[in-house]
Structure 1
Amino acid sequence: MLTRIVRMTFQPEKVADFLAIFQDSENKIRNMPGCRHLELWQDADLPHVYCTHSRWDSATDLNNYRHSALFGQVWPATKALFAAPPLAFSVYPAGQDSSSPALPTT
């Protein structure tokens, strides 16, 4: 299981526009093959900063979404609202990446 987190800083006056985009697309994203979870987080101290947290069966599933027509609509519209570049990263639970052996335990 791959977890993807994308931290996005929006122009404060564009937050409502982003929320409308997210609301319109969240169920479509959740229905993409391999997507097991999607939620939106708002920063506790900076109300114009949001993170998407999603879980995917594999990196291939995430990349298939990232190359889909849906992503091609959602990401450019979202990106136009940024006040700063996004920070995105993908992680596996420690020792769970199928391409590497489990970490030793002591």
Structure 2
Amino acid sequence: MFVRIVKMSFHSKFIADFEKMFDEKKALIRKSEGCLLLELYQDKNNPEQFFTYSYWNTENDLENYRNSDLFKETWKQTKTYFNDKPQAWSVDKKVSLQ
């Protein structure tokens, strides 16, 4: 399993807009081929910071999603809300909490 973690920081005035957009798009993203999980987290101490965790069958599945019109449209809109450069990590899941 392949995990993608993205850290994003938003202007406070755009947080509600981002959350609304994410809520509208999450089901479509989760239906992407190879997407096993998509979650959104907000930092407890800095409400402007958010993290997405997405689980993918393979790196190729993520790349196919990143080349899709859905991703391009969603990312184009998301970028307008940023107050800092996003960061992303691609990791392999090694241990389950089960």
Q: Which amino acid aligns with 2:21?
A: I
Kindly indicate whether residue 54 of structure 2 is the aligned counterpart of residue 30 of structure 1: no
| RMSD (Å), alpha carbons | 0.7
Shift of 1:89: 0.8
CA distance in 2: counterparts of 1:80 and 1:52, whole angstroms: 17
SS of corresponding position for 2:27: helix
Deviations 1:48-100 (A, max 9, x none): 11000000000000000000010011001001100000011110035xxxxxx
In the alignment, structure 2 segments of 5+ residues that lack a partner are none
For 1:43, the equivalent position in structure 2 comes to: 43
Shift of 1:40: 0.3
Q: Which amino acid aligns with 2:4?
A: R
Q: Which amino acid aligns with 1:73?
A: E
Given the two structures, how large is their TM-score scaled by the length of structure 1?
0.86
SS of corresponding position for 1:81: coil
Shift of 1:44: 1.1
For 2:3, the equivalent position in structure 1 comes to: 3
> How many residues were matched structurally?
94
Whichever of the two has the greater Rg, that structure is: 1
In the alignment, structure 1 segments of 5+ residues that lack a partner are 95-106
Structure ranking higher on relative contact order (CA contacts 8 Å, 6+ apart): 2
**Percent of aligned pairs with the same residue?**
41
Given the two structures, how large is their TM-score scaled by the length of structure 2?
0.93
Could you list the structure 1 runs, at least 4 aligned residues long, displaced by more than 4 angstroms after superposition: none
